Amino acid sequence: MKPSNPPLKENQLARLILTAATLIALVTMVVTLSVKGTRNEISLGPGDSSITVDKTQVNAIRDIGQWEFLTISDEELVDSTESRLIGSDKKITRIYYGTLRLGIDMAQLRDDALRMRADTLDVTLPPVTLLDDDFIDEARTKPFYENGSWDQKAREALYEQAKRKMKQRCLTEDNINIAQLNATEEVAQVFHSMGYQYVDVHF
């Protein structure tokens, strides 16, 4: 099991889109603060310290899609044995390789995900999840030992067994916490770069 940081290009793209979406919101706030009823409106009520970002800006962030914050490489050796009345028992052992990507599906962002609280920007992110359930690289699967004839159903059972073992090994509380920490740092950095001094990121 080898945790690693997500590819730089993917983070840069997500950061660029998020930056563009938020800059649109800031420019709209300055230029159209007194304009009512427009789709891109950001309104600041009299005596109100909270800025409400409308659904258009939130949708722009949702368009980022999946944002990866932790990649874990794993390999599992799984086997199966069947008894036979005549002759030795059948046995099959295979090695499976997988790459599990933990991150956030920004499409699940709530409408009220971005809110101002006094001088602090509150950012509520969806939970960290496994981004792709098809994480086993079947092309790299290696036969370790095979005795006897095994049908496709038996091989599929080995595949599912390997998948369960990888999830059990990799989807731990510690790894989810690491992904959340990476997400907190990445998202906060984006908003800090746009001038928000205080950013509170939570899930």
pLDDT by residue (tens digit) across 111-122? 888 888 888 989
CA angle 157/166/202 to nearest 5° reads 135
Q: Lowest mean pLDDT: which of 19-23, 135-139, 160-164?
A: 19-23
Q: Is the dihedral of CA 1, 134, 156, 94 positive or negative?
A: negative
* Residue 34 pLDDT exceeds 80: no
Contact by Cβ (8 Å): 111, 56: no
DSSP state of 31: H
The secondary structure element, H or E, covering residue 70 is strand 66-82
The secondary structure element, H or E, covering residue 76 is strand 66-82
* Closest by Cα among 141, 148, 139 to 77: 141
pLDDT of residue 11: 56
Locus of tokens 């908003």: 191
pLDDT of residue 101: 97
Locus of tokens 């090695």: 95
C-alpha 111/C-alpha 127 separation (Å) is 15
Contact by Cβ (8 Å): 59, 21: no
Contact by Cβ (8 Å): 1, 170: yes
Tell me how crowded residue 129 is: count the other CB atoms within 10 A of its CB: 15
pLDDT of residue 13: 56
* Closest by Cα among 102, 81, 90 to 203: 102
10 Å CB burial of residue 81 (0-12, 13-18, 19+) is: exposed
Structure tokens at 168: 């059990």
Tell me the pairing of strands 66-82 and 90-105: antiparallel
pTM score, two decimals? 0.69
pLDDT of residue 148: 73
40 versus 150: the higher-pLDDT residue is: 150
Range from 9-13, 91-95, 124-128 that averages highest in pLDDT: 124-128
Q: How far is CA 130 from CA 113, 134, 167, in A?
A: 21, 10, 9
